Chains A and B, each alone.
Chain A
Amino acid sequence: MAADKILLEIVAPNRLIMHEEVEEVVCPGIEGELGILPGHIPLLTTLTIGELRYKKNNLFCSLAIGWGYAEITGSRVVILAELAEKAEEIDLTRAEEAKKRAEEVLAKGPEEADFEKAKESLQKALNRLQIAGKRPPS
């Protein structure tokens, strides 16, 4: 493996999402965005809902991440994501529906039992919608 590359592995509970060599990874850490270049010191962090970008052949690609862990060693980044979708794979109608459902619950006010849950799913849906807008022009 070339020294200026990182092996990026992203796995979700139900499948392996990607296993590729990339030049740079930017992931949404719990305490702010993390930019990872080859040779990064070992790091283990929690990821929050947000966007994961990676650079390959000087081109940035995006993924929507909803909660997970990242284990970083010098030459490897392992992402254990609860939820991860590539920008081009995001199902827009599903995200819209999720957004609508969450908003309905939120409209009922904080007494609602699922209030916190709805807040989170709204965040996830918005995140997905935003990232879906960044698909590479095909």
Chain B
Amino acid sequence: MPNLQHIKRRIGSVKNTQQITKAMKMVAAAKLKRAQDKILEARPYAQKMLSVLGNLSARVERESHPLLAKRGNKKIEVMIVTSDRGLCGAFNANIIRKSFEFLREKRAEGCEITLNAVGRKGRDFYRRRDFEIRKTLAGIFDRLSYQNASEIGIDIVESYEKGLFDELYVVYNEFKSAMQQRVIIEKLLPIEPSVQTEIGFAADYIFEPSAKVILHSLLPKHIEVQTFRILLESNASEYGARMTAMEAATKNAKELIKKLTLVYNRTRQSMITKELMDIINGSEALK
């Protein structure tokens, strides 16, 4: 027969856990709201940037700028965006699984691979694997700002221009909704301009100072903006995943408490019955 004291203690411990998961869920929900707002605010800039870039790059030679020119795909870098903290369901596991598959595929094709790990979880995973990590960055998601993205952007553009890699891929979680994230593998470099011509758009453009100069400053900026968007997406996804995971954990704790309480009451009941029987038996014997 289970020990009453034991069950009681167990219930207490599950209750504590439940309180923690509940609190974490609340925190995640609040942070999710903020992260979501940030994405919505950042989107117009990224979109406008893309359309300006599209118009501009349609008018210049592809080879006129190193960030546009293709130069083979033998050396690639993969940027893996994970979270710094755990307890967010399958968020990091998904990223790691997807990226690992991707890396193995690329390696089988004979690519040289370097990694750029943003977020503690991805870094810790790949540190124990057979990959060269060129760069890591952790602990930026608590206070995510454009500055962070700008630093990453400048670093990758510089390394790319130095020829450390020919292609850059990013693996990250795209934010769909609080319940849904999607792992995306995106090619960031070289830039593939999506040419979109607007209706009624005059073909002749004046560039001041010149198309080339503008392109020169716009392309690195574009990378920064894209990086910023990716970080924001990942951040919002993380909180979404954590909220869902913590809600599930709270629910599970509730069920567990219910079950344990049942066992506790049953045990108590049977103990009382047993004691009563003892007393009755005793008094019967005295007659």
Contact = CB atoms under 8 A, between A and B. Distances in A.
Interface of A: 9, 11-16, 29-31, 41-46, 69, 71, 73-74, 78, 80
Contacts of A42: 201-202, 204-206
Given A43-B208, A46-B209, A74-B202, A16 B146 contact: no
Contacts of B52: 44, 69, 71, 78, 80
A15 B41 CA distance: 4
Nearest to A30: B209
Q: How large is the interface on B (under 10, 10 to 19, 20 to 34, 35 or more residues)?
A: 20 to 34
A69 B218 contact: yes
Interface string B35-79: 000100110110011001001100000000000000000000000
B206 A13 contact: no
Given A13-B225, A30-B208, A73-B202, 18 more contacts: A12-B45, A13-B42, A13-B228, A16-B41, A16-B44, A31-B209, A41-B206, A43-B205, A43-B208, A44-B207, A45-B214, A46-B208, A46-B217, A69-B218, A71-B52, A71-B55, A80-B48, A80-B49
Contacts of B286: none
20 contacts: A9-B48, A11-B48, A13-B146, A14-B38, A14-B41, A14-B45, A14-B146, A15-B41, A16-B44, A29-B208, A30-B209, A43-B206, A43-B208, A44-B208, A44-B211, A44-B214, A46-B213, A71-B55, A74-B202, A78-B52
Contacts of B205: 42-44
Contacts of B146: 13-14
Contacts of B204: 41-42
Nearest to B213: A46
Interface in B197-247: 201-202, 204-209, 211, 213-214, 217-218, 225, 228
Contacts of A43: 205-208
Contacts of B209: 30-31, 45-46
Contacts of B55: 44, 71
Given A44-B56, A46-B217, A78-B52, A14 B42 contact: yes
B143 to A, nearest CB: 13
